[in-house]
A and B are shown apart, each in its own frame.
Chain A
């Protein structure tokens, strides 16, 4: 508690360059740090206390994504040659509470569940689900529709309801828009 108070009295750290959509919902105490460009797409929701760090490489997040509390997006160390593009989220990606994502790319409609860890240079396909507490090692390529669950078990989801799920993400964004007061100006 005290440390956060002290931080607020300090002169604010230089803001990272941002490119924010006008329909973005971003909570007042989300933390955007770093020196590279952070791009957030339309209808995306950034919860309070989310940490987006572009200290080592840019972050580009598509539209209708939900980034939950205490999750950390962005590289935590200097990138390798092929990771210079930073972290890219396609549309409709959900990152749940406490997840750490350093991935190169996360495909459309994928869900990163509570406290999951996605290593550097990982490429996750479309409509994947990385279960809570699961880890994806650096450099792995996860094909579309993969579900990682339990202690790292994997399967391919063939239920074919991905469009329905994307629709539900849209609805979730609508609800969150009403719940989270946005402060776009602070980050521009």
Chain B
């Protein structure tokens, strides 16, 4: 079994105040009648806990609300779009009109997803002055990893740049790619236009059901169809936006949600106005009957075998249907974005990256790591050679050292509380030997060194080390801090792991075990301790309105932060 690494997860307090993040118009949940928040013990195994526990590194901190912020209680804002391959910034207007793929020359291999490079089919020129002559086409896209070449599917390019345009031209057999912007301009006229083109392409085939649209045209048709549908069914959107603009508006979105879920998201007034929308029903409107595996495909499969079919992963990457490897096209690189994060409550920015693509720096980044004490776990006795995996022996008291490290420039008072026994079917007994202690400020490292020299502040430390030396073996004492440093404090927690076997008469079992005596579930053998941490400290008030006078007086302000943590201590041995 792989060795177990102790972990600490923090619960963002936003899970307790759900009301704040409910959408407008939704009814407030019934008040919790059972027990008060203070009495409730957080259960890390509860299904809901999955969504509220984060490693400290994933959390942000709002300086205005003085609160931890997790991905659920921040708002994301897009700063820039860019292509991860060519690192070009893509303006948002282009993203809206052209989609979320790089429209330059960045493609990934349809077989193995590694980046494709453009190379000439011809051998490079040789002889005198060869380095001065430029390579000439035709060009192909090559994968250096799996040796795929666009030549395999018959794609040869005329020039080595703007591959995206060339490819879409090849795909649309000479027509320029359907531009969504144009399509929007006058959707009806364009739909008719495309349909006539398509019919002409098919050799004047009158049967509309036989028309096979290429994916871009189909998308354009579908989009324009639904845009007109939206415009017709709701002359004015729920929030007063009309047709075109309303497509992405909250009113239209909630109506679409309503259409599919049958639940009214918008208010009743607008619902009564909404007419019924119909679906696309012919190629003109972008409807394409899915082609069931035809005779042709089956005979091809017979001839070429399983290896000629595309894998599920390969098909998922494609923007259109592809059954066979030969139908796979190079995939344009997906754009990435830089995002800034705002506090959902006070709208202050918590994280803002530099907008320049090539820099990875942040302008603002308020990470929780700089505000709340980190907790690290270490067994007091090093794992013995007889038990290298460090498994916890059931019913054998084991001690762990919890080290709290303070990132703040002020000393903090920490109180920790744990339930006497861990929640769940297999509850172990937990005792924190020192539940209240103070952690020093995160001062300059040199301060401490200088103090040591003076021999004044370093007293405590020295005494401790002396005591250790005289006692020989250090014993964990109740109510005493185990070890202390400049900005960290270690305390000892003792656990008595429970047995993972459900045995004995039913009346001896715990309530949870009586209810459920099934076999051990995945990770149920991990001993997790919920810990309630309360951090208190005093800091200089940052109230700007107080002005100069306050600054001179250095008004101290009391701060308090309380949250649940989960300590993953170790696995209990299965006997």
A residues contacting B by CB (< 8 A) are: 129, 131, 147, 149-150, 153, 155-161, 164, 167
Contacts and interface: CB of A to CB of B under 8 A. Distances in A.
A133 to B, nearest CB: 12
A161 B149 contact: yes
A120 to B, nearest CB: 26
Nearest to A145: B147
B123 A167 contact: yes
B151 A150 contact: no
B123 A129 contact: no
A150 B111 CA distance: 11
29 contacts: A129-B147, A131-B145, A131-B146, A149-B147, A150-B145, A150-B146, A153-B112, A155-B111, A155-B146, A155-B147, A155-B148, A155-B307, A155-B325, A157-B147, A157-B148, A157-B149, A158-B152, A159-B142, A159-B147, A159-B148, A159-B151, A159-B152, A160-B151, A161-B121, A161-B140, A161-B149, A161-B151, A164-B121, A164-B123
Nearest to B113: A150
A125 to B, nearest CB: 14
Nearest to A147: B147
Contacts of B145: 131, 149-150
Given A157-B149, A158-B152, 6 more contacts: A131-B145, A149-B145, A153-B112, A155-B307, A159-B140, A161-B140
A107 B307 CA distance: 23
B290 to A, nearest CB: 28
A159 B155 CA distance: 11
A129 B112 CA distance: 15
A160 B123 CA distance: 13
B462 to A, nearest CB: 47
Interface string B306-324: 0100000000000000000
- Of listed B112, B147, B152, residue having the most chain A CB within 10 A: B147
Contacts of A157: 147-149
Contacts of B111: 155
Given A164-B123, A167-B123, A159 B112 contact: no
A161 B122 CA distance: 9
Contacts of B140: 159, 161
Nearest to A158: B152
Contacts of A156: 307
Contacts of B147: 129, 147, 149, 155, 157, 159
Interface string B116-129: 00000101000000
A146 to B, nearest CB: 10
A150 B149 contact: no
Nearest to A156: B307
A131 B562 CA distance: 54
Nearest to B153: A158
Contacts of B307: 155-156
Contacts of A159: 140, 142, 147-149, 151-152
Nearest to B311: A153
A173 to B, nearest CB: 14
A157 B325 CA distance: 12
Lowest 6 A-B CB distances belong to which pairs?
Answer: A159-B149, A149-B146, A157-B147, A147-B147, A158-B152, A159-B151
- Of listed A131, A153, A155, residue having the most chain B CB within 10 A: A155
Contacts of B149: 157, 159, 161
Contacts of A155: 111, 146-148, 307, 325
Contacts of A167: 123
B152 to A, nearest CB: 5
B12 to A, nearest CB: 38
A180 to B, nearest CB: 22
Nearest to B145: A149
A157 B145 CA distance: 12
Contacts of A150: 112, 145-146
Nearest to A128: B147
A147 to B, nearest CB: 5
A23 B504 CA distance: 85
Contacts of B152: 158-159
Contact of A147 (B123, B146, B325): B146
A60 to B, nearest CB: 27
Contacts of B121: 161, 164
Interface in B97-153: 111-112, 121, 123, 140, 142, 145-149, 151-152
Nearest to B152: A158
A64 to B, nearest CB: 16
B135 to A, nearest CB: 12
A101 B410 CA distance: 64
Contacts of A161: 121, 140, 149, 151
A172 to B, nearest CB: 12
Nearest to A129: B147
A142 to B, nearest CB: 14
A167 B120 CA distance: 14
A36 to B, nearest CB: 34
A175 B154 CA distance: 33
Nearest to A146: B147
